[in-house]
Structure 1
Amino acid sequence: MEKLRVGIIGLGWFGEIHADTIVGIPNLELAALCTRTPERLEAMGQKYGVEKLYRDYHAMLADPEIDAVSVCTMWDQHTEPAIAALEAGKHVFLEKPIASTVAGAQKITAASKGSKGILYIGHVVRFNPRYRMAKQAIDEGRIGQIVALSSRRNIPAAWTPTILEKIGPIVGDAIHDSDIMMWITGDTVATAYAQTVSVRGLKHPDIGQTMYRFKGGATATLETVWCMPEKTPFDIDERMSIIGTEGIIHIQDTFPNLAIVDGNKLHSPDTTYWPLFNGVRGGALREEFEYFARTATSGAEVTIGTPEDATAALAATLAAEESARTGNVVQL
């Protein structure tokens, strides 16, 4: 079995989750780490037993023994390392959002067309089995024409003070549901309208409420609340309803699918996306990396997490954020 030697660029909390996932997949090898913070770099190198440690991603990309990179920098720092990696002929797993601007996304996409490596954009919700089964049922024609959709993706306030200084809930989380809605409808967003609420006075608002009209006529509402109370016993309140002319699909990932009571508190940890088992991540993120590895080693075309789909989701959420700022319906 061919093994891909992977380097990670960006070692924040999600870069570490990527590392936890990579080390558990037989045909991936965590071969290098890169971050600008020397203490973090040393600590992560010791944790994973990785000797190739870089503070400059260009030096990592110059290493011929690195086959692929996972880009986990902040969303406004995706464009340069992604393009540099593609130009170096590396396979690229780029976390969502693809970029912070549509122009940046288009530059990354253009770079991928001439690269020897593949470009995959990490829209992990497509690997959640509940959404995959919903997509399958829709493709089989079981609910007829989709006419309305709604989603909820809410997380506790404790998660978000640092994140909200960097990205807002619409682009940060509603982008998942935007991507899924376009995927299952096979349609694109025509107009976006949104309102936001700032609860804690951070750089970005805590709450985003979004409405879309799709080109085919369907409507959608998307709720993203990043300030659920401290005592909320679950990590995420995630739901989607899809209403068709002949049926309905309802997806729910909480309330709770696992309940653990310790002391005087009930916990409902993630069991879907990146659950941790004996130091190794499983769930949808593992399946996502396995897909990336299979596609890269086989030379197959990327059909999930394409830059075109990721750019469409980014454009929709940026339009929603523009609507929230201006109070106007934004045409795409």
Structure 2
Amino acid sequence: MDQLRIGVIGIGRFGRLHLRVFNQIAGCEVTAIADVSDKLLNQVKQDFGIEKTYKDALRLIKDPAIDVIDIVSDEDTHGPLAIEAIKHGKHVFIEKPIATKYEEAKEIEQLAKEHNVQVMVGNISRFSQPYASMKRALASGALGTAGMIRAKRNFSKEWFDHFGHRVHPVYESGIHDLDLILWYADSPCQEVYASERNMSGYDHPDLFSAVLTFENGLIASLDSSWLYPKGGPHNLVETLELAGTIDADMEIIGDKGTANYKLAHPGYSIWTEQGVQHPELTLWTTEHDGIGGAIRAELQHFVLQVHKGEESPVAPLHDSVEALRIADAIVLSAKEKRPIQL
């Protein structure tokens, strides 16, 4: 298989970002797209020179000329579409989360083994160098034994218009930090206790807080909100066709040292008459030869692993399944106001 033929499902702003990155990667080619919007299909077909377009994602999945399915659609479609794609023998890249139901995630893992296909979830933070450096510091013993992890992730309030009626934030924002916590903890989670609050009146809460206890004794806390004000400094100002802020902190406390990374920081600033920007330069940077950063490293790694016929050693599928199990427990704990044993 010299050239992987990729079909992208969902061509909103993040799907178009995937398209742009895949166009830069050797060994693959996007040959088909699917979306419910005729307007988007026609525009992307024209902009990217893609001949095959589908309004029905299942028709794209069944296309025998497609080797890889890239799922960048709404969160609740990830599980069903991935399951169908694997049953048709396709390799699959799934933007996080893997699904919004743990049973679907388990089925994806089982089917991937049965059909001998590569499935990887877009846990982009594992490919962001600051977070990867923290993992290396743990693995080298520089921090000693990790005893506590603190994670915080806040998003622009105006973005919740898109997600407040669509998906619980634990699956949209919290899943990033759950994945990192699992990566760093390297141990099964035993107990989850969570609380949430709805301050904006949407179907889903706009903030939640959770404490996780792991088999090896590690304690992790995770706080997330979608209440960052519009007037705050923006750090998403390039590449993604989206302006706003991700304010994320990650701290690992070991018995020999600590590591801390703040995604929103004033290390680089642009001051204009419209306000102050702190451009984020790790996730999807605009570079001299196109889009770089973690998104390029992630998709390039996936393409390489498909060519090699090997599961990703950086982002193994089981970790995404386990992260979803914890996410479900957070939702249940907050709903029933009690700790959940895993």
The range that moved more, 291-300 or 75-84, is 75-84
Match of 2:337 among 292, 303, 327: 327
Distance 2:220 2:311 in 1: 31
TM-score by length of 1: 0.95
Q: Classify the secondary structure of the residue corresponding to 2:21.
A: helix
Tell me the equivalent position of 1:58.
58
CA contact (8 A) 2:7 2:31 kept: yes
Distance 1:278 1:37 in 2: 32
Q: 2:288 aligned with 1:290, yes or no?
A: no
Q: 2:269 aligned with 1:259, yes or no?
A: yes
Indicate how the Cα distance of structure 1 residues 27 and 259 shifts in structure 2: closer, same or farther if over 3 A, else same.
farther
Tell me the equivalent position of 2:325.
315
Match of 1:270 among 256, 277, 280: 280
Q: 2:198 aligned with 1:188, yes or no?
A: no
Gaps of 5+ in 2: 235-244
Q: Classify the secondary structure of the residue corresponding to 1:204.
A: coil
Distance 1:259 1:115 in 2: 49
Q: Classify the secondary structure of the residue corresponding to 1:111.
A: helix
Tell me the equivalent position of 2:226.
226
Distance 2:223 2:191 in 1: 17
Q: 2:279 aligned with 1:243, yes or no?
A: no
Distance 1:164 1:24 in 2: 34
Distance 1:164 1:12 in 2: 18
Q: Classify the secondary structure of the residue corresponding to 1:30.
A: strand
1:79 to partner: Cα distance: 2.1
Indicate how the Cα distance of structure 1 residues 256 and 24 shifts in structure 2: closer, same or farther if over 3 A, else same.
farther
CA contact (8 A) 1:135 1:184 kept: yes
1:12 to partner: Cα distance: 2.5
Tell me the equivalent position of 1:112.
112
CA contact (8 A) 2:269 2:277 kept: yes
CA contact (8 A) 2:79 2:101 kept: no
CA contact (8 A) 1:23 1:280 kept: no
TM-score by length of 2: 0.92
Q: Superposition RMSD on alpha carbons, in Å?
A: 1.7
CA contact (8 A) 1:92 1:119 kept: yes
Q: Give matches, 1:160-171, under 5 Å.
A: 160-171=160-171
CA contact (8 A) 1:20 1:279 kept: no
1:103 to partner: Cα distance: 0.5
Distance 2:279 2:156 in 1: 12
Gaps of 5+ in 1: none
Q: Classify the secondary structure of the residue corresponding to 2:63.
A: coil
Distance 1:215 1:65 in 2: 46
1:280 to partner: Cα distance: 4.1
Q: Classify the secondary structure of the residue corresponding to 1:130.
A: helix
Q: Which amino acid aligns with 2:119?
A: L
The range that moved more, 144-153 or 272-281, is 272-281
CA contact (8 A) 1:157 1:228 kept: yes
CA contact (8 A) 1:206 1:227 kept: yes
Q: Which amino acid aligns with 2:229?
A: P
Distance 1:63 1:172 in 2: 30
Distance 1:8 1:294 in 2: 18
CA contact (8 A) 1:11 1:35 kept: yes
Distance 2:252 2:101 in 1: 29
Distance 2:169 2:286 in 1: 25
1:265 to partner: Cα distance: 0.5
CA contact (8 A) 2:35 2:41 kept: yes
Distance 1:232 1:74 in 2: 28
Distance 2:206 2:126 in 1: 25
CA contact (8 A) 1:93 1:120 kept: yes
CA contact (8 A) 1:124 1:284 kept: yes
CA contact (8 A) 1:258 1:271 kept: no
Tell me the equivalent position of 1:13.
13
1:270 to partner: Cα distance: 2.8
Tell me the equivalent position of 1:150.
150
CA contact (8 A) 1:124 1:288 kept: yes
Tell me the equivalent position of 1:174.
174
Distance 2:142 2:311 in 1: 29
Q: Classify the secondary structure of the residue corresponding to 2:224.
A: strand
Number of residue pairs aligned between Structure 1 and Structure 2: 332
